[in-house]
Amino acid sequence: MLQGKKILLGVSGSIAAYKAATLVRLLVKAGAEVKVLMTSSATQFITPLTLSTLSKNEVGLHISENGSWSNHVMLGRWADAMLIAPASANTLAKMANGLCDNILLAVYLSATCPVMFAPAMDEDMWIHPATKANVDKLKSFGHIQLPVNKGELASGLFGEGRMSEPEDIVTFLDHYFAQKAAKSGALAGKKALVTAGPTVEPLDPVRFISNHSSGKMGIAIAEALANNGAEVELVLGPTNLGTTHPMIQTTRVQTAQQMFDACIQRFDAANIAVLAAAVADYRPAQVADVKIKKKDEGLHIDLEKTKDILKTLGTQKKDSQVLVGFSLETNNEREFALKKLTDKNLDLVVLNSLNDAGAGFNYDTNKVYLFTKGGKETALPLKSKTAIANDIVSAIIELQHA
């Protein structure tokens, strides 16, 4: 969500100013355009050259620069968000009382964008009634305070007052813009159910049957739905991947039966359901209580069918709901995909072919074909899974408005 966002970073005089270098680097890496403002005392902790190099923009140091007295006004109107990090006790006091004796404060008073601040100071300063009053006043202006951490402080004492870590600040900003976008998204007010990842079917306490699914595609779809305003329930099989998107609630499951139960429980409330998980079609008929020991002869395992989640939801689907399934094939791809579309009462089926290079399990890219029950067919070229997810969600939005 930070891609293309314009961020004004104000750096005040605190030892935590050294973290500004990491913060700028992470914001730029996330796709944001960053401009930095520094108080004179901040330059004693970190050089403007460091931050200008990392941000690829000149650092603002003075109210009047390059013969202009209005640069602070233009900067205040340029940004999507202004973040003061670190925000020292002195800077917080000046902000709360409208003082304007440096470029950071001049831009702050001119800012027409949301303002956020990450306090950084010793615990005694942080808990002082004057500081608390200043913070409360800034919050009354509609400004957003980032959490204050507890730990070792510059004084050598241990307590509250540490600035949020740069990684946490970037996550905070990402969530902020995600929630802001969601309020005006095409799927605002809609509820979505998404499954992702593999399932595992135990054979004994040690072994199981599973597949190579990583969950990347399903997670990307969940995030794309959330970015368009939907409240998403993600039912996620065993994978080391996940999402921190604020509009996504994740339920972790292991087996096909657990995924079935989670989907049945949530489907009725969903406007959209996208079943991207690679669910086991079969499981061991008997699960041993103890580890099966190796023998000289071969091992015979009886398998039984698992419940078909997609077909079950298809029988329960209301006309107002959009149900999307995936079809991963190695042969007769189009034929099998269209059969699934009809047999399971889907509105959209996404065809993956393992014959396409760069598509399928564990890749960061995918190449898919979309088939709707209305007869529309769309071939999507090889793209990142994030881009493919956005295309799939665009197709879902079309179905919602059809």
Residue positions forming the annotated binding site for CTP = 281, 291, 326, 340, 344
211 is catalytic: yes
| Cα–Cα distance, 48 to 390 (Å, whole number) | 39
- Is 326 within 8 Å of 349 (Cβ atoms)? yes
Residues tagged in the binding site annotation: 281, 291, 326, 340, 344
Reduce the DSSP state of residue 105 to 3 states and report it: helix
**DSSP string for 289-353:** SSPPPP-SS-----EEEPP-HHHHHHHH--TT-EEEEEEEESSSHHHHHHHHHHHTT-SEEEEEE
User: In terms of Cα–Cα distance, which of 62, 58, 64 is closest to 33?
Assistant: 58
Q: Which of 57, 90, 149, 211 is catalytic?
A: 211
- Is 116 within 8 Å of 79 (Cβ atoms)? no
Residue type, 196: A
∠ CA 63-65-68, nearest 5°, is 90
Q: Which two tokens stand for residue 315?
A: 């029988």
DSSP count for the chain of H helices, then E strands? 13, 19
By annotation, the residues acting in catalysis are 211
